[in-house]
């Protein structure tokens, strides 16, 4: 088996290499879609110092990687054919993170990573907040219906400011800016024709659905989806998602996935929305944590017995 070397993240070309692993091992036993990585890395500018990242490479191919959010959270992906690398990624994480409590979130189907976590002293938490992984085949998609005066369409070249304003209002407080969203739009595999909005009669963008297409696996991921507060419960989220899903199917997607956060007050409407769109759960996330014991300062040489 080829020797494995570790190196640090150097820029967008390495993100593409990380995506190549996600794409190569994609299945419903994998926690990450190529779109997760592009959106996660580029939606906020100026955070590289908060995100130590390392890649493990064998024979010119990425076989594992870890991405830390300081002070102590890890996202990782390990080729199931190289399960021993999970322990190496966790050792690097422990050496690099600064928090007393370390946290790692994985998919319940990533058995090789969960086993390594338990060997390294992590324990699964009874966390009421988790992500439900849901999917649906892109067949029999109904026509989207919008309230009178609203229009569904993909974003155009002059829509950046309104697109960013919509995102910031939906996800307030948000660190997304015009320059950071421009970076998202320049990243692989973003496609403007899969970035859909519902435009209100007054010209505002009222709802959004961005789909990331993995052409190799013919699967699109919805990330992010949202509606301005004043337009919620009007059917706009359903309509804009259907329009984007139909566009993804036209572009070659056979399936779509979405990962709503459950049991969080800001996402109370997510599960009913996606169930109504025909998505069904197939997996969920688990969070493992480990508390590190702090070593007391070395007290210096001991005094001889009986010394005063």
pLDDT tens by residue, 109-144: 999 999 999 999 999 998 788 999 999 999 999 999
Which pLDDT belongs to residue 294? Answer: 57
Question: Tokens standing for 51?
Answer: 């995100």
Cα gap 227→165, rounded to integer Å: 12
Residue 147 pLDDT greater than 70, yes or no: yes
Contact criterion met (CB below 8 Å) for 194 and 211: yes
Which pLDDT belongs to residue 265? Answer: 79
pTM of the model: 0.92
- Is pLDDT larger for residue 61 or for residue 302? 61
Nearest-10 crossing angle of helices 34-42, 178-186? 150
Q: What is the mean pLDDT of residues 90-108?
A: 97
Q: How confident is the model at residue 266 (pLDDT cuts 50, 70, 90)?
A: confident
Q: What is the mean pLDDT of residues 248-253?
A: 98
Q: What is the mean pLDDT of residues 239-263?
A: 97
Residue 93 pLDDT greater than 60, yes or no: yes
Cα gap 171→218, rounded to integer Å: 29
Residue 246: half-sphere exposure toward Cβ, Cα within 13 Å: 15
Residue 296 pLDDT greater than 70, yes or no: no
Residues 6+ away with beta carbon under 8 Å from 46: none
Going along the chain from its start, the domains and CATH numbers come out as 4-128+287-291 (3.40.630.30), 135-284 (3.40.630.30)
Cα gap 201→207, rounded to integer Å: 13
Question: Tokens standing for 42?
Answer: 């580029």
Residue 176 pLDDT greater than 90, yes or no: yes
Residue 306 pLDDT greater than 50, yes or no: no
Average model confidence (pLDDT) for the chain?
Answer: 93
Contact criterion met (CB below 8 Å) for 109 and 286: no
**Cβ atoms < 10 Å from Cβ of 113:** 26
Which pLDDT belongs to residue 302? Answer: 39
pLDDT tens by residue, 225-237: 999 999 999 999 9
């Amino acid at each position: 088996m080829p020797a494995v070397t570790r190196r640090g993240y150097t820029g967008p070309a390495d993100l593409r290499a990380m995506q190549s692993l996600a794409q190569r091992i994609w299945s419903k036993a994998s926690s990450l879609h190529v779109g997760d990585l592009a959106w996660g890395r580029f939606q906020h500018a100026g955070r590289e110092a908060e995100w130590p990242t390392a890649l493990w490479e064998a024979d010119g191919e990425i076989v594992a990687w870890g991405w830390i959010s300081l002070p102590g959270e890890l996202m990782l992906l390990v080729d199931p054919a190289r399960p021993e690398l999970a322990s190496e990624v966790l050792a690097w994480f422990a050496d690099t993170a600064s928090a007393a409590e370390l946290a790692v979130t994985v998919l319940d189907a990533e058995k090789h990573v969960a086993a390594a976590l338990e060997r390294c002293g992590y324990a699964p938490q009874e966390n009421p907040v988790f992500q439900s992984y849901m999917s649906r085949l892109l067949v029999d998609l109904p026509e989207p219906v919008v309230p009178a005066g609203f229009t569904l369409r993909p974003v155009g070249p002059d829509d950046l400011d309104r697109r960013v304003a919509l995102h910031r209002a939906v996800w307030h407080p948000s660190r997304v800016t015009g320059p950071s969203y421009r970076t998202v739009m320049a990243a692989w595999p973003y496609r403007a024709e899969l970035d859909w909005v519902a435009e209100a009669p007054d010209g505002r963008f009222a709802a959004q659905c961005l789909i990331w297409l993995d052409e190799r696996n013919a699967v699109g991921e919805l990330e992010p989806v949202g509606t301005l507060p004043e337009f919620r419960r009007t059917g706009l989220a359903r309509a804009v998602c259907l329009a984007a899903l139909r566009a993804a199917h036209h572009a070659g997607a056979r399936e779509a996935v979405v990962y709503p956060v459950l049991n969080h007050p800001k996402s109370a409407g997510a599960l009913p929305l996606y169930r109504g769109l025909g998505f069904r759960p197939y997996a969920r996330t688990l969070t493992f944590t480990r508390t590190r014991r702090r070593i007391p300062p070395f007290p210096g040489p001991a005094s001889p017995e009986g010394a005063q």
